[in-house]
Amino acid sequence: MTTIAAPRRTETENPRAVMGGNRPPLDVEARFAFDEALEATKPGLRERIDQLLAASDRASATDEESAGKCGELVKQIRAAAKAVDDAHTTAKGPYLAAGRAVDAAKSELRGPLDTAKGKVEAKQTQFLREQEAIRQAELRRQREAEEARRREEAERAAAEHASTAAPVEVAPPPPPAPEPERQVIRGDYGATVSGQKVWLSQVEDYEVAFIAVANNSKVREAIDTAIKAMVRGGVHEITGVRIWSDVKASNR
């Protein structure tokens, strides 16, 4: 008698989506929940939506009568859209609640971990700043010592040639010595710690700083957003901005 081995389950298979499973995959379940909510909100809504879409293709506004009919069609489309939104809210509610519960469980663990990480890194940063201050002080001491040595040599050379008419040639200063590499600290379990130079900024005069960033795309997007909000709020005169009125259909 020949036996046939059962097919092996792949890693991508949902363990609940097999024969005997109690629930379908979560995404399928969510779609079923939306379909049920849609039908409960307004029976036959899907068919009605198809009819409204077809009617929008046939609609025309060539006189007052046809424009009025378009208004009625817009009201029906708006009502169907609201029914879809209501069904969406109903179906998504339990999943939003579940997502918030997962987020809260994550925050209970992640929050303290982030705080602890920041606390340790702050101690590292303080130590590295102190070490950098010591390093910079040593570099200043070396530069000052080199400058003092050169001054002494120049003064001695000038004194030796004071009685002669020959000009005293002073050697050009040597290039500054490169800064030594920052020390890398290695932990017992493979971690490496080193100081990293970072550049910080703080705006002290927004009007002056704006000139430097006026061509930045993100800045221009922010300006466009702010201008549109001001115009919607009733501001109709802004220097450097063209503001005009237009006509837009409104159906109630």
Tens-place pLDDT, residues 68-124: 999 999 999 999 999 999 999 999 999 999 999 999 999 999 999 999 999 999 999
Q: What is the pLDDT of residue 178?
A: 62
Q: What pLDDT shows up at residue 154?
A: 85
The answer to whether position 213 is within a domain reads yes
Asked if residue 155 and residue 33 are part of one domain, the reply reads yes
| Same domain, yes or no: 95 and 211 | no
Give the chain's domain count.
2
Distance CA 124, CA 193 (A): 8
Q: Are 118 and 218 members of one domain? A: no
Residue 75 belongs to a domain: yes
Q: What is the pLDDT of residue 3?
A: 45
pLDDT digits (tens, 9 = 90+) for 21-78: 677 899 999 999 999 999 999 999 999 999 999 999 999 999 999 999 999 999 999 9
pLDDT at residue 250 tops 70? yes
109 and 211 belong to one structural domain: no
- Does residue 248 lie within any of the structural domains? no
- 40 and 147 housed in the same domain: yes
Q: Are both 106 and 31 inside the same structural domain?
A: yes
**What value does the mean pLDDT take over residues 220-247?**
93
Query: Is residue 125 located within the same domain as residue 72?
Result: yes
Q: Is the pLDDT of residue 1 over 70?
A: no
Answer whether residue 205 shows pLDDT above 60: yes
Same domain, yes or no: 95 and 216 = no
Q: Are residues 144 and 55 in the same domain?
A: yes
The pTM assigned to this predicted structure is: 0.58
| Residue 74 resides in a domain | yes
Are 63 and 73 in contact by the 8 Å Cβ rule? The answer is no
147, 61: one domain: yes
Identify whether 44 is part of a domain: yes
Range of the domain at 156: 26-161
In a domain, 3, yes or no: no
CA 134 to chain centre: 37
Residue 196 lies in a domain: no
> Average model confidence (pLDDT) for the chain?
85
Please check whether residue 176 lies inside any domain of the structure. no
Quote the pLDDT of residue 34: 94
Residues 152 and 219 in one domain: no
pLDDT tens, position by position, 138-186? 999 999 999 999 888 888 888 877 756 555 565 566 666 566 666 677 7
Of 19 and 250, more confident = 250
pLDDT at 2: 45
The number of beta carbons lying within 10 Å of the beta carbon of residue 139 is 14
Residue 137 and residue 48 share a domain: yes
